[in-house]
Amino acid sequence: MTKEQFKTGNTLRAKTYLLLENETNNNFATKAVTFFLIFLIVANVTAVILESEATINQRFATQFYWFEVVSLSIFCIEYLLRIWCCVESVKYQHMPTYKARFRYIMTPIAVIDFIAILPFIIALFFTIDLRSLRLLRVLRLLKLTHYFKGFNIFITVIAKEFKSLVAAMIVIQVLIIIAASLMHIIEGHTQPDHFGSILKSIWWAVVTMTTVGYGDVVPISPLGKLVSTFIMLIGIGLVALPAGMLAARFGEELRERRDTLNLQIEQALSDGEIDPREYKALLLLADKLDIDSKSLKQSIKQMKKEQIIGKCSHCGR
């Protein structure tokens, strides 16, 4: 769920919301719950990886089973608590509680939490070994998006560059099909097992254009080698294109967010000081922009220093 401003209150529900959802509440209890849940997520995925090794699974089968049961129970409790306390967010304060909870359940982060407990729900209706649902269990790694800001920034970058990325991928797919067709025409008669059809040639085209080059399928004719040389050179530039687009947009997104925050800091410092109310508003804005409180403090300190340097030593203006 996107962190928003929240309603203050001393009710159990409000305290639960602050404990689970509010990153600006840096008391010991909040940090302890956060670190425990991060540890549990990582431990779950580690257990899935170790379980896939037959010798380890046979030796610790019972321990793995009970660890999965305990973990699922904790994740279920966490999911239900998040649904229960989500109405404390200002984002949902004007809605009826049932509508607010439904809206929250449909958010991407809530869907990820639901996936984490999906093995338990499946086990309620089907007789199945929980440990066999390895893919769903590995997807619990996505729950880390609750706690690491970089994930949210990355998702934002992907969303903003989605059209450009799709266009780049379409161009790559078109060139792969063209390359596969050419090699089918050139090498199809001499190597029917590898280039006997365009479908068979696609494997070579993908491996070649992505510069992986396994070497399991190679052209043997002079013309085939010449064409594949050009295909490889084109592939080097094209495959790197989406990565370059994402890197450029990522840096731009970070700058835009910092500029937005710095503008608000400048407005708060217009009278020379930042009062508690203004600082709280800045904390909430930084949280919404996925900028940690340490970076916020550094920005405030830097802008105060610039403000002092810019003042006249005689009149203070």
Domains of the chain (ranges; CATH) run 12-147 (1.20.120.350), 149-317 (1.10.287.70)
pLDDT for position 315: 56
Per-residue pLDDT, averaged over 117-123, amounts to 79
Rounded to an integer, what distance in angstroms lies between the CA atom of residue 85 and that of residue 129? Answer: 32
pLDDT for position 308: 65
The answer to whether the beta carbons of residues 131 and 68 sit under 8 Å apart is: yes
- Quick: pLDDT tens for 181-212: 999 999 999 999 989 999 999 999 998 888 78
- Quick: pLDDT tens for 249-284: 888 888 888 888 888 888 888 877 888 888 878 887
Rounded to an integer, what distance in angstroms lies between the CA atom of residue 290 and that of residue 133? Answer: 33
Check pLDDT > 50 for residue 7.
no
Q: Helix, strand or coil for residue 307?
A: helix
pLDDT for position 285: 81
Per-residue pLDDT, averaged over 125-154, amounts to 74
pLDDT for position 182: 93
The answer to whether the beta carbons of residues 19 and 29 sit under 8 Å apart is: yes
Q: Which of 160-169, 245-254, 279-288 has the lowest average pLDDT?
A: 279-288
Which of residues 243 and 128 earns the better pLDDT score? 243
Helices of type H across 210-221: none
Query: pTM, whole model, 2 decimals?
Result: 0.66
Q: Which two tokens stand for residue 277?
A: 């109310």
Look over the chain and give the mean of its residue pLDDT values, rounded to a whole number: 82
pLDDT band with cut points at 50, 70 and 90 for residue 130: low
Per-residue pLDDT, averaged over 84-102, amounts to 85
Amino acid at site 134: R
DSSP secondary structure, 154-178, as one string: HHHHHHHTHHHHHHHHHHHHHHHHH
Rounded to an integer, what distance in angstroms lies between the CA atom of residue 124 and that of residue 119? Answer: 9
Single out the residue of 45, 44, 109, 32 nearest to residue 70, CA to CA: 44
- CA-based end-to-end distance of the chain: 44
How buried is 183 (Cβ within 10 angstroms: 0-12 exposed, 13-18 middle, 19+ buried)? buried
Check pLDDT > 50 for residue 117.
yes
